[in-house]
Structure formats: structure tokens, C-alpha cells
Chain A
């Protein structure tokens, strides 16, 4: 890798050729605010909050999409930059409902964080505000386009990562918004409810319904686990408040999924605390299920296997098992003398 030397906030940084200013800054441990940037997405350069000052440049370039060059002198917090960021935040605030008191995103909202950082308490501009109806007719998430800051990340994740292409920009100018085709509710679009858009939204415009009013960001402990629904092995974070699971999201460290999830891993966690859930084995006695110990249940199964003999034994395994599980399962049956093995995904 060719090295490129730049100076960021007076500090010499040895970065790699092809890096953006933002990446070089991150390498040097310098934090630059971003709304629309995500390393998994193509550089959009939409929100302009990440602008920095570059010596001898005409404008303030967006650091997330501007490549570095040898000898570049960058200031990420100059007076000009701070003024520009304040103006940007002020413009966003002028068109944003300030209901942080009940907003699900409060505490992990980037708009809130940056307004705090730059001391923007209210907007310099009063005027028209957007007025879109809340969209909540689907079972999984709410879309409140009045809170949307049009960073475009949901559109990108839906097109570039999921491939569903359910939503896109609509209209122009101040009327711009993100919408499924023809302004239909999202359930009438190709949306598959993966919910990755809700994970990536930097503000409270897209929020999962199941988690609503179940906990604030700072009360939630994210516990990494593997999604139990299929053999892919996606890493997800269970959002735990106290001893209760109140949500889930993709975990980017997951080698299999890099944070991407499907509808089940994202929204299918509510069985965990379901009163209907089986937590102990049941044995049917006199036509009625009765709780039993594991010892008792397993012995019963073993006895029945013996009674049936190899000829009378067949196995059906589950798509929720990994390849390795399935392999062992068929091995087990064959050891027991039966070749009658099948799998639910073949149905």
C-alpha cells in the first residue's frame, strides 16, 4: 500500500492512498460527524455535515467522499467548518419535530448528539415545516417522514444491500421525501421487512413497533448472540432492558452477515418472553400433556426408539439447524440403522 502523508488539525497522519479524508481522520482517532456515511454503502455525500476545511480548496469538501492527496492540510473543526455545521444543523432543526421527550431514538440520535456538540439549541430559521402522516399500517416498523433528515441511508441499504429496492427519494426541493412507489404504504411495495433501514437510520424516522415505549437507549444493554432462526448464523444484538429482551438488531461484527438481517432475526424475538413458550418437556398421559423432567422424557424417547427398531425409525430435521447439526443428525440415524432421513426445507 502506498502511503500518503496528510496533516489533520496540525497532526501529521500517515494514511493509505485511496482513503477519504474521513477515513484518514478516523485512522488518526479524530472524530468527524456524519449522517449519511456508512462504510458499507457507496459514498453519497448527501448530508454535508462532515465538511472540513482543506487548505487552498475553494469550498468545504465533504470528508466522507473526498480522497486525500499527498501533503493535504485538513482542519476538521476550523471556525468556518463549525459555522457550516451549525448552519446545517440549524436548517435540519427548522424542519424537524423536536419531540425528543418521547422519541424512541433519543439517546442514540445523531441529530441530538451533534446539536449538543455544537450547541445548537434552536433553529435560526422559522418557516414551513413538513407535514406527512405517520405511516404505521405494517406490523413491523413506523415511518415518520417528518423526522427524516433525508440522509438517504435507508434507500441505499434497501437497494445496495437488501436488493429489495422498496423505497426511494420522491419529489424535489423542499417537498423531497423518502417513499415507496406511488406513495403507497410500505407493505404494498417490494419491502421484505428486513428492517435494515430502521437499524441504519441516524434519527427517529424509522422505528421498530415492537420496541416502542419498551426502553430508552441508555437503559438498553446490547447482547451479541446468533440468530436462532436458520443455519446462516447471523450475528444479532438482543436489546436487553433489565432481564427482558425488548428488541433486536444486526450486529456488524458477525462474520456471516456483517450486520445484515432478515425479518425473522430482526422482529421475531418476541417469542422469548411468550407465556406459550415450552420451557420444560411434556409427556402425554391419559390424553393430557403433563410436565416431566428431561431425564424422564429422554428415557421415554430412547425406549420408543428401541421398540420401533431400525426399520420403524425415520428422522426429519430442521432448517433452523446448521449444516453441521444436520450432518450429525443423519449420521445418528444411520448409526441407529435407518436411512430414512429428511429435512423440512425439502418440502
Chain B
């Protein structure tokens, strides 16, 4: 078979949302119209979500060229130019991947992973296949050493040896808690039980987080392989992947991957001819944040209402259906084949003393480059915000970064030098969490941010324990009051004592960490709370109730359009004279701003 050119379209949820399917069709059309024989395929998210739709084109013997932000109108031309005329369209080309011959004219094209600033500091272990393989074709995974780790483990190693390898790699859970994965496997291995389970936590409920989704969409087999290895190590023959139903693409690709793996006997009975058998099921969750908490998740798989229960007993001893259960996060499992194939020493050589390997972060907020980045542990927040994410949009000023989603905290500028590892982030009052990083610029109101996260945790509280159910509600009410300009002098104290009481007494991690966004913003931005409460000001200009409309006397020509438009007659002024708005009467509808041709009216804080 002669090698064909290959065209790969990024069809993760991000690519699809950016119009990937239309691009795919347009390419198909261009190929037919021009009689080009090329392989058109798809892949998952490669991380640079802001550049979607991404299309990679590779001719045999040439490096693969990545085109970003392609448009439906132009893509046909890009493809034909590349394939028929060896012309690379510089408007869209981002960089090249791999080696091969290319006209000297394109020598200056950057290497995608090493030269592009977004990728320069990344180390891609978990995401090694994302953006490369077609997740719907198991052969492409197998070509890149897929299921080799499983084979090695079940044909050459004893379960205890596998546990030892994972322990010595220093791998810690990527789902938030950061518990030693090797230890967890050891507990499950040692637990007595006629039946054991492996469960993968793919609930990913934090607002702003999409690491796990991208891995499942882009490389489902790596997670499944990790689970099968865990199954062998702990003595389980059955596994569940608990994935939220809001991730239909991930669910579909998982189901497809399971079928394909069964056909190849990477799952099922007597895998690789051994007496190890392992089967996988996908269980769809209904989208409750609390079902990401491990005990609630297990209840939900059992068909009960997802509510956390006290631990001990830990799932390792009494988990799914009361049986010993090894429960890990998507990213944790995806790391496992890497640890086995590269060896634990290599894995442990990346990162810091206490935190080994890499972490995938979902970068969102006011940054130039949003997307998914896998960075080595120990990298500083500053490097992530400025080097990887390209700093604040429009050269704005950095204000804070929220790490760890609603359970995490806001970290201010003077702590940007902090290395990203489990312990440093916890010390700063935030947490690694599952890996959401929301970067905020000067135009963010910290009180409003705290209010937002608390409104999330309050409605997501399972309702079981008093501090979380009732306490977050009262904290939220206080914050709502403050942003509405009705804050009281003792509100800050109340927030602190109530927040601390909730953290200290709630049953599960949701309640224990729910006050973090409030407590950290109070710790680092207390003056902003005080401005809201005492000066009735929101410097970021976010809290509408604390703002007022002002007519600039210099610009106003006294046309009176605003006065006539105001529904509550808050504006007065004689014809051709400067007009004024009465703050007390004004209801802040903003109609006047629209009416003023002089652009003399603006919102002031």
C-alpha cells in the first residue's frame, strides 16, 4: 500500500463547538472535487483549544503541519494548496510536528511542541496521544504502544510488584485529594473480599474544568488500560467508569473503545492468554457535583441518591456494593501505562519532592491562551499564567488565579512564585483540586467571585449535613447582601467564623472546602470587602448595585435625549444646559447611555 497523505481534524468537544464537523465536511468535499486520495480522520483535543478548529495535514515523508483557527470558506484552499502544490498557508499554519523534507522556504516554521510558547514548558505524559490518534480506532492507540503496559504487567509481574512500581513512582491522585495511588492500590489489594471493583471517577463537576473530558474524548484507551492494570494489581475483575451524562462524546467514545478492546481481547476473559479477566462498564451520572465525591459516586452507581457517607470504612475496604474498591480519577489512570512503560524512576524524576509527574490544567479566564496544558509539577504559577497562558488579555493587569474550582481558593499576585504542587497550594488556602485554573484580571470583583463559587456549592450541597446545607446558604446571603451594597460592619467577621465552622465540621470535602473561595479572598483581598461594605464601592466595576450613572459635564451638550428616555425621570437639566442624574431615583436601567449621542454617560464605581 502506498502511503497516503493524512488529514486530521480536531474533533473534541472544543473542536466540534468551533465548527469542526463543518470543516471536516468541507475538507471531504474539497478532496472529492479535486480527486485527491487522502486519508481524512479525526482526533481529540490537543490542548490549544483557542486555536480550534485545528487541522493537521501530513504528506508522506514530510512533517505534519498544524493549521489553527481554520475557516469553512478557506479550508478547501488550504488543503489543495498543501496537497497539490506543497504550499503552506501561513495565515493558518501554527507549526510543524515531526521531521521530514520540506521546502527550505518553510524552515522558519516553528516546531509545534517545542517552539510554540503554549507548549514550550509542557510535558505531555497523560496527553501523549491526545491530538495524535483517532480515539475511535483502537489500532492507532496500539501503534503508539497501547496495551503494552497491560501486557507487561499481566504476563511478567506479580500484583505486589505492580503496586510497588506505582508506589515508587510517587504518583498521587489527580482527582483533588492527592492521596498516594500506590498506597490506595495496596489497601485494596490487601482487603479481603471475594469480589473487588475498580472505579474510575470521570464526574468532573467543577465549573471551568475539562481535563478529564479531553482525555476521555482524545485517548479513552489509556484510561481503560490504567484501570485494567489496577484490576490486576488489586484483584478485581470488574470496573466502572462513572462519567457525567453531559459528556456525550466521551461516553460514546468510551463505549466504542470498550467494544473494540473486547474484540482485541484487551478486555474480557483470559486477557493475553493469562487467567486474568477484566470487564468494564460505563455508568452515566446525572450531573450532581457531589457525585464526584467518592462515596456519593459509589452510591450513585448502586442506583441510590448520591450522598456522601462517613469514612472509614474507606472504599478500599468497603466500596461498591460493599466490596473492596479501588477508585481513581481519569488522569490518575491515564498516567499508569506511562509509569509502567517508562519505569517509575523516570516518572519520579519529573516534579518535586512530594509531587511527582505532571498535572493537566484547564486554563480559562482573562488569559491570551486558554486551553489544556500539561505541565511538570513544581512549575510556578507565574510560568503557567505568563509563559504557557500568555498573560492577561489586552495586556491587562493580573489580579488573582482561582485554583481548584469551587473547593479551591484565589491566589494573589504576590504568591505567583508558588510552585504548583499539592502542598504549596493547600498552604496558600487553595488546592490542586482537579486542575481548573481560572485567571482573573483587574476587572474582577473578588467579592463577586466568592459569591459566584458559593452559589454553586450551595445548590450542589447534597443537603445531608447542617453546616454545609444551611451554612453555605447563610454565607451566600451575606455575600449577596455585600455585593448589593447592603453589607453590614460585622459581615466580615460572620463570614470568617461561619466559614471556619463549616470547614471544621462538614461531613465531606464539598462542605469542608466550600468556604475556601470566601476565606482566601478575605485573606488576600479583605480591603475589597471593606470597600463594598463601608464605602459602597466596587473598584472592579462589577457590582451594579454599587455603581452609578454619571453625565460628563464636558461632553454633555444638553440635547435632553436622556432626560426624555429615562423611565423614572431621574434626569434633569434645561435645554442646552448640562444634565444631571439623581442617584437616588435612578434604577440603573442604562437606557440613557444608549440614547446619548455624545457618549457622555457612563457607569462609575
Which residues on A are within 8 Å of B, measured CB to CB? 43-49, 51, 59-60, 62, 65-67, 80, 83-84, 87-88, 91-92, 94-95, 124-125, 127-128, 149-150, 152, 168-169, 171-176
Contact = CB atoms under 8 A, between A and B. Distances in A.
Given A45-B310, A127-B474, A168-B305, A88 B505 contact: yes
Contact of B505 (A43, A60, A152, A168): A60
A187 B542 CA distance: 50
Interface string B178-198: 000000000000000000000
A127 B305 contact: no
A172 B312 contact: no
Contact of A45 (B472, B501, B504, B507): B507
Interface string B467-492: 10111111001000000000000000
Contacts of B474: 91, 94, 125, 127
Contact of B504 (A49, A59, A67, A172): A59
Interface string B491-517: 000100110010111110000100000
Contacts of B494: 124
B288 interface: yes
Given A47-B466, A91-B467, A91-B474, A172 B507 contact: no
A91 B470 contact: yes
B157 interface: no
Given A59-B505, A169-B305, 8 more contacts: A46-B464, A48-B506, A62-B505, A62-B507, A87-B467, A125-B474, A128-B477, A150-B469
Contacts of A91: 466-467, 470-471, 474
A331 B466 CA distance: 60
Interface size class of B (residues with CB under 8 A): 20 to 34
B462 interface: yes
B501 A172 contact: no
Interface stretch (B453-461, B527-535, B554-562, B588-596): B453-461
A169 B501 contact: no
A59 B473 CA distance: 21
B512 A59 contact: yes
22 contacts: A45-B309, A46-B466, A48-B507, A51-B504, A59-B512, A60-B505, A62-B310, A87-B467, A87-B497, A87-B498, A87-B505, A91-B474, A95-B470, A125-B477, A172-B459, A172-B463, A173-B472, A173-B473, A174-B458, A174-B459, A176-B461, A176-B469
B307 interface: yes
Interface string B284-325: 000010100000000000000101011010000000000000
B458 A173 contact: yes
A150 B471 CA distance: 14
Nearest to A177: B463
B463 A83 contact: no
B307 A169 contact: yes
B477 A92 contact: no
A44 B477 contact: no
Nearest to A96: B470
Given A87-B471, A125-B477, A92 B465 contact: no
A150 B464 contact: yes
Nearest to B475: A125
User: Which among B312, B459, B467, B505 has the highest number of chain A CB atoms within 10 Å?
Assistant: B505
Given A65-B310, A173-B473, A48 B467 contact: yes
Contacts of A176: 461-464, 469
A173 B504 contact: no
Residue from the set B290, B462, B512 with the largest chain A CB neighbour count within 10 Å: B462
A169 B470 contact: no
Contacts of B507: 45-46, 48, 62
Interface string B214-253: 0000000000000000000000000000000000000000
- Sorted nearest first, the 10 A-B pairs with minimum C-beta distance are A176-B463, A45-B310, A91-B470, A65-B310, A87-B501, A127-B477, A125-B474, A174-B473, A173-B459, A173-B461
Most interface-central of A44, A91, A94, A127 (chain B CB within 10 A): A91
A86 to B, nearest CB: 9
A169 B296 CA distance: 14
B472 to A, nearest CB: 8
Given A62-B310, A91-B474, A94-B474, A169 B464 contact: yes
A60 B507 CA distance: 10
A100 to B, nearest CB: 19
Nearest to A43: B310
B460 A48 contact: no
B288, B470, B477 interface centre (most CB from chain A within 10 Å): B470
Contacts of A92: 466, 470
Contacts of A124: 494
A170 to B, nearest CB: 9
A127 B501 CA distance: 19
B287 to A, nearest CB: 11
A171 B464 CA distance: 11
Contacts of A128: 473, 477
Q: Which of A80, A150, A174 has the most CB of B within 10 A?
A: A174
Contacts of B473: 127-128, 173-174
A185 to B, nearest CB: 21
Contact of A150 (B305, B312, B463, B505): B463
A48 B506 CA distance: 7
A95 B463 CA distance: 14
A78 B472 CA distance: 24
Contacts of B505: 48, 51, 59-60, 62, 84, 87-88
Nearest to A93: B470
A42 B103 CA distance: 73
Nearest to A67: B312
Contacts of A60: 504-505
B473 to A, nearest CB: 4
A66 B466 CA distance: 18
Nearest to B462: A172
A134 to B, nearest CB: 21
Query: Could you say which of A45, A95, A124 has the most chain B C-beta atoms within 10 Å of its C-beta?
Result: A45
B312 to A, nearest CB: 6
A173 B467 contact: no
Q: Which of B309, B464, B472 has the most CB of A within 10 A?
A: B464
A94 B470 contact: yes
B463 A169 contact: yes
A88 B460 contact: no
Contacts of A173: 458-461, 463, 469, 472-473
B477 A150 contact: no
Contact of B463 (A51, A88, A171): A171
Nearest to B470: A91
